[in-house]
Amino acid sequence: MDAVNKVINEDLQKERDKCKFNVAELTAFLDGGDKFTQKRREKENRVFSIQGLRDAVPDEYMSHKERYENAVRKAVIMHQTLGTLEDKTLTEYETARLALRATTSSAIFKENSPLMLHYSMFANVIEGQGDEKQREYWLKKINNMEIIGTYAQTELGHGTFIRGLETTAEYDPKTEEFVLNSPKLTAYKWWPGGLAHTANHCVVMAHTYSQGKSCGIQPFMVQIRDLETNMPMKGVKLGEIGAKLGFNTVNNGFLGFENHRIPRDRMLMKNSQILKDGTFISSPNSKLTYGTMVYIRVSILGTMANTLGRAVTIATRYAAVRRQSQPKPNEPEPQILDYVTQQHKLFIGIASSHAYYISCFWLWTLYHRVTKELAVGNMDNLAELHALACCLKATTSADAAVLVERCRLACGGHGYMLSSNLPQIYANVTAANTYEGENTVMLLQTARALVKAGMQVAQGQKVSPSMAYLADQSKMAKWDSSVDGIVKGFQKVAAGKVAACLASLQRHTNNGQSAEDAWNLTSVQLVAASEAHARVILLSVFKSEMDVQTLTLSGETRTVLFQLVQLYTIYWALEKVGDLLLPTTTTTYSVSICDTAMRCDGWMDETSLFEKSTIQTSARTGIAGLVLSGLVYDSAVYPELVHQSLTSWPLQ
Ligand SMILES: CC/C=C\C/C=C\C/C=C\C/C=C\C/C=C\C/C=C\C=C\C(=O)SCCNC(=O)CCNC(=O)[C@H](O)C(C)(C)COP(=O)(O)OP(=O)(O)OC[C@H]1O[C@@H](n2cnc3c(N)ncnc32)[C@H](O)[C@@H]1OP(=O)(O)O
Ligand SMILES: Cc1cc2nc3c(=O)[nH]c(=O)nc-3n(C[C@H](O)[C@H](O)[C@H](O)COP(=O)(O)OP(=O)(O)OC[C@H]3O[C@@H](n4cnc5c(N)ncnc54)[C@H](O)[C@@H]3O)c2cc1C
The ligand minimizing its distance to the Cα of 150 is 2
Those residues whose C-beta lies under 8 Å from the C-beta of residue 363, and which sit 6 or more positions away, are 298, 301, 388, 389, 392
Q: In angstroms, rounded to a whole number, what is the distance separating the alpha carbons of residues 610 and 624?
A: 11
What confidence score (pLDDT) does residue 582 get? 74
User: Has residue 623 got a pLDDT over 50?
Assistant: no
Ligand 2 centroid from CA 435, angstroms: 6
The ligand minimizing its distance to the Cα of 158 is 2
Q: In angstroms, rounded to a whole number, what is the distance separating the alpha carbons of residues 303 and 353?
A: 10
Q: What is the largest CA-CA distance in the chain?
A: 91
CB atoms within 10 A of CB 379: 13
ipTM of the complex, rounded to two decimals: 0.97
Of 507, 494, 467, give the one whose Cα is nearest residue 602.
Answer: 507
Pick from 154, 255, 527 the residue to mutate for probing ligand 2's pocket: most ligand atoms within 8 Å of its CB. 154
The ligand minimizing its distance to the Cα of 444 is 2
Identify the bridge partners of residue 205 per DSSP, sorted by sequence position. 219
Ligand 2 centroid from CA 159, angstroms: 5
Q: What is the pLDDT of residues 288-305, one digit of tens each?
A: 999 999 999 999 999 999
Q: What is the pLDDT of residues 165-178, one digit of tens each?
A: 999 999 999 999 99
Virtual torsion, Cα 607, 608, 610, 613, nearest 10 deg: -150
Which uninterrupted H or E stretch holds 391? Answer: helix 382-410
Characterise 230 by phi-psi region: left (phi > 0), alpha (psi -120 to 50), beta (else).
left
Q: Do residues 131 and 151 lie in contact, with contact meaning Cβ atoms separated by under 8 Å?
A: no
Pairing between β-strand 177-181 and β-strand 189-190 as defined by DSSP bridges: unpaired
Q: Which atom of ligand 2 is nearest to the CA of 205?
A: 11
- Residue 5: pLDDT band (50, 70, 90) is low
Ligand 1 centroid from CA 584, angstroms: 38
Query: Cα 627 from chain centroid?
Result: 33
Cβ(6) – ligand 1 distance below 6 Å:
no
What confidence score (pLDDT) does residue 534 get? 98
What confidence score (pLDDT) does residue 84 get? 54
- Name all contacts of 75-80 with Cβ < 8 Å and 24+ positions apart: 75/109, 75/113, 75/114, 75/115, 77/50, 77/52, 77/53, 78/47, 78/53, 78/104, 78/105, 78/108, 78/113, 79/115, 79/145
Pick from 204, 441, 530, 531 the residue to mutate for probing ligand 2's pocket: most ligand atoms within 8 Å of its CB. 441
Q: In angstroms, rounded to a whole number, what is the distance separating the alpha carbons of residues 376 and 105?
A: 35
Active site residue ranges: 436
Q: Where do the domains of the chain lie?
A: 121-283
Pairing between β-strand 201-210 and β-strand 149-152 as defined by DSSP bridges: parallel
- pTM listed for this prediction: 0.91
What confidence score (pLDDT) does residue 583 get? 55
Helices (H), 219-339: 291-321
Task: Report the chain's mean pLDDT, rounded to a whole number.
Answer: 88
The mean pLDDT value for 487-514 works out to 97
Q: What architecture (CATH level 2) is domain 121-283? A: Beta Barrel (2.40)
Q: What is the pLDDT of residues 513-529, one digit of tens each?
A: 999 999 999 999 999 99
Q: Find the angle CA(426)-CA(429)-CA(432) to the nearest 5 degrees.
A: 145
Looking at this protein, which amino acid is placed at residue 559?
A: T
